[in-house]
Amino acid sequence: MEKIKSLADLRKIREEAREKLDLRVKGDNPEGLVQVKVAMATCGIASGAKPIMEFFVEELDKRGIAAVVTQTGCMGYCYAEPTVEVQLPGREPVVYGFVDRKRADEIIEKYIKNGELVEGIIPVNYEKID
């Protein structure tokens, strides 16, 4: 890791990091990747988020879908763990709750492959600040 030596350097890294993130999900990029985020805080892991994350990593790869699977923190919907956010290129992210292997499979087959929503959506009920 190279040290960041000035505020200007920090801004440069920010722009680069943003571009990298944007590239994945921007709609105007036909090569955009599917992004899957698994909520992996203590509550998520306790309800089985780890095997679900592994399932997505392995199955997306096996089924030849270009995707980035990452972990993230608590989304706040502890009653519906494990929760997974899926963002298709150029689309608003969708959060699915109570994701077991069966639902994870459905999400891949229906939503990720064909853009058909599947049961278990958790509507976002908060305001973002940016």
Partner 1 sequence: MHLLVCGGTGCRASESSLIVESLKREIEEKGLSNEVQVITTGCFGFCEKGPVVKVMPDNTFYVHVKPEDAAVIVAEHVIKGRPVHRLLYVDPVSKEAVNDSKHMGFYRKQIRIALRNCGFINPENIDEYIARDGYAALGKCIGELTAADVIDIMKKSGLRGRGGAGFPTGLKWEIASKNKADQKYVVCNADEGDPGAFMDRSVLEGDPHSVLEAMAICGYATGASRGLIYIRAEYPLAIQRLKIAIDQARGYGLLGQNILGTSFSFDIELRYGAGAFVCGEETALIHSMEGQRGEPTNKPPFPAESGFLGLPTNVNNVETFANVPVIINKGWEWFSSIGTEKSKGTKVFALAGKINNVGLIEVPMGITLREIIFEIGGGIKNGKKFKAVQTGGPSGGCLTEEHLDTPIDFDNLVAAGSMMGSGGMIVMDEDDCMVSIAKFFLEFTVEESCGKCAPCRIGNKRLHELLTHITKGNGTMADLDRLRNMCNVIKDTSLCGLGQTSPNPVLSTMNNFWDEYVAHVTEKRCPAGQCRDLMKYSIIVDKCVGCTACARACPVNAITGERKEPHFIDQDKCIKCGACFEKCKFGAVLIN
Nearest distance from C-beta of residue 4 to partner 1, angstroms: 5
Task: List interacting residues with partner 1 (CB under 8 A).
Answer: 1-7, 9-11, 13-14, 17-18, 20-21, 37, 39, 41-43, 45, 70-80, 85, 97, 116-130
Nearest distance from C-beta of residue 31 to partner 1, angstroms: 20
Q: Give whichever of 1 and 62 is closer to partner 1, judged by the CB atom.
A: 1
Nearest distance from C-beta of residue 12 to partner 1, angstroms: 10
Q: Give whichever of 8 and 31 is closer to partner 1, judged by the CB atom.
A: 8
Contacts 24+ apart (CB under 8 A), 22-29: 24/68, 24/89, 25/87, 25/89, 25/90, 26/89, 26/90, 27/89, 27/90, 27/91, 28/90, 29/89
**Spatial CB neighbours of 24, under 8 Å, sequence gap ≥ 6:** 32, 33, 35, 68, 89
Q: Give whichever of 31 and 129 is closer to partner 1, judged by the CB atom.
A: 129
Q: Give whichever of 55 and 97 is closer to partner 1, judged by the CB atom.
A: 97
DSSP lists the bridge partners of residue 36 as 69, 86
